A and B are shown apart, each in its own frame.
Chain A
Amino acid sequence: MKKVMGLVLAVIMTMLLATGCMTKKYEYVVLEEALSDEQYGIGFRKADQALRDEVQKILVEMKKDGKLAEITEKWFGEDTSTVPDTFTPTGSTDDSLTKIKEKGELVLGLDSSFPPMGYKDSKGDIIGYDIDLATEVCKRMNVKLKLQPIVWAQNVTELNTGRIDCIWNGMTINDERDEKMNLSLSYMNNRQVVITLKDSGISKLTDLKDKTVVLQTGSTANDALNDRDDIKKIIKGGKATSVGNNILAMYELQKGRSDAVVMDEIVARYYIERPDELKTEAEKINSDAD
Chain B
Amino acid sequence: MGWDNILNTVEQLAQASLQTMALFSLTLIISLPLGLLMAFGRMSRIRPISWLMRGYLLVMRGTPLMLQLIFFMYGLNLPFSRFQVAVVAFSLNYAAYFAEIYRGGIEGVPSGQREAANVLGFSKGQTFFRVILPQVIKKIMPPMGNEFMTLVKDTSLAQMIGVAEISLIGYQLQQSYVSMVPIVIAGVFYLVMNSVVSRGFSVAEKRLGYYS
Contacts and interface: CB of A to CB of B under 8 A. Distances in A.
Interface of A: 1-2, 5-6, 8-10, 13, 16-17, 20-21, 153, 156-157, 176-177, 179-180, 214, 217-219, 222-223, 226, 241-244, 248, 251-252, 255, 257, 285-286, 289-290
B176 A223 contact: yes
A251 B52 contact: no
B207 to A, nearest CB: 38
A217 B171 contact: yes
A222 B162 contact: no
Interface of A is mostly: helix
A23 B112 CA distance: 59
Contact of A242 (B62, B75, B162, B174): B162
Contacts of A290: 63-64, 67
Contact of A177 (B168, B178, B180): B178
A242 B166 CA distance: 12
22 contacts: A2-B55, A5-B52, A5-B55, A5-B58, A10-B58, A10-B59, A13-B59, A20-B74, A20-B76, A176-B176, A214-B162, A218-B172, A222-B175, A241-B82, A241-B164, A242-B164, A243-B159, A243-B160, A289-B66, A289-B70, A290-B63, A290-B67
Contacts of A214: 162
Contacts of B59: 6, 9-10, 13
A153 B174 contact: yes
Interface of B: 51-52, 54-56, 58-59, 62-64, 66-67, 70-71, 73-77, 82, 159-162, 164, 168, 171-172, 174-178, 180
A156 B180 CA distance: 9
B176 A248 contact: no
A113 B180 CA distance: 23
A42 to B, nearest CB: 16
Contacts of A180: 178
A144 to B, nearest CB: 29
B51 A5 contact: yes
Chain B CB within 10 Å, residue with most, of A176, A241, A243: A243
Contacts of A179: 178
B168 A6 contact: no
A176 B178 contact: yes
Given A13-B59, A214-B162, A243-B162, A255 B168 contact: no
Contacts of B71: 13, 16-17, 20
A19 B71 CA distance: 11
A226 to B, nearest CB: 7
Contacts of B76: 16, 20
Nearest to B67: A289
